[in-house]
Amino acid sequence: MMHILIISGGMLEENFIRDYMKKHKFHKILAADRGLVLCKKLGIIPDLILGDFDSTTSDALEYYRSTVPERIRQYPSRKDDTDTELAVSVAIDMGCAEITIFGATGTRLDHVMGNIQILKKALDRGIMTYLVDSHNRIRMTDTAVTISKEEQFGTYVSLIPFTEKVTGLTLCGFSYPVQDYTLMQGRSVGVSNEITGQQGEISLKEGLLLVMESRD
């Protein structure tokens, strides 16, 4: 069950990422464009380096060109896919079962929204993908999810419908439990729930659901 880490070019928190990588095992690491700068700081040699390299530094790019030129895959700057989506496509082609992405969030909300869209691309191939920063872990699901209170990321669990509606939503072990509920787009009712039991259980019948674990 291969788990691939993608280091992209959004908000990259060096200390958080270093600690997270110590606690989680990744079989391969892909660096997308400006993610290369953090890789150099942390002494990481990615298995693949890709992008149009319009936002990385010349220092980082030249370092890897001189050490692992065979691992670099450059794309034109005028292209349909973002560098993050290119990396996800490559990870899918590698046959991974799970993807974690650093640098998928930040001040560019257009990129954040685009990266949330990419979650569906991976889910359509049966691959669970996480967007992770120091305050959030975001995934998309079309099936049941169980979150252990001991292992949850932060304090809050928010559920946002990605499709027009999510039907048959049932929550057990939460501060706000529901049974066979229909969660509709255009409302904030699924925000800031909390796990009260040993674990929180989320199930649904139809639709796509964003599961966001967050902390202040």
Domain edges within the chain: 3-134, 145-214
pTM for the complete prediction?
0.95
Question: Which pLDDT band holds residue 3 (cuts at 50, 70, 90)?
Answer: very high
The per-residue pLDDT for 37 is 96
Selected from 3.40.109.10, 2.60.120.320, 3.30.300.10, 2.40.50.140, the CATH number assigned to the domain covering 145-214 reads 2.60.120.320
The per-residue pLDDT for 77 is 85
The per-residue pLDDT for 78 is 86
CATH number of 3-134: 3.40.50.10240
Cα separation of 40 and 60, whole Å? 6
- Helix axes 35-42 and 14-23, enclosed angle (nearest 10): 70
The per-residue pLDDT for 57 is 94
Reply yes or no on whether the pLDDT at 216 is more than 90. Answer: no
pLDDT tens digits, one per residue of 179-201: 999 999 999 999 999 999 999 99
Instruction: Identify the CA nearest to 209 among candidates 172, 174, 157.
Output: 157
pLDDT tens digits, one per residue of 112-169: 999 999 999 999 999 999 999 999 999 999 999 999 999 999 999 999 999 999 999 9
- Bridge partners (DSSP) of residue 49 are 31, 72
Cα separation of 120 and 140, whole Å? 7
Q: Mean pLDDT, to the nearest integer, of 1-23?
A: 96
Average pLDDT, the chain: 96
Instruction: Identify the CA nearest to 123 among candidates 163, 81, 170, 154.
Output: 163
pLDDT tens digits, one per residue of 32-67: 999 999 999 999 999 999 999 998 999 999 999 999
Cα separation of 74 and 146, whole Å? 39
CA torsion, points 215, 55, 44, 41, in degrees to nearest 10? Answer: -80
pLDDT tens digits, one per residue of 95-109: 999 999 999 999 999
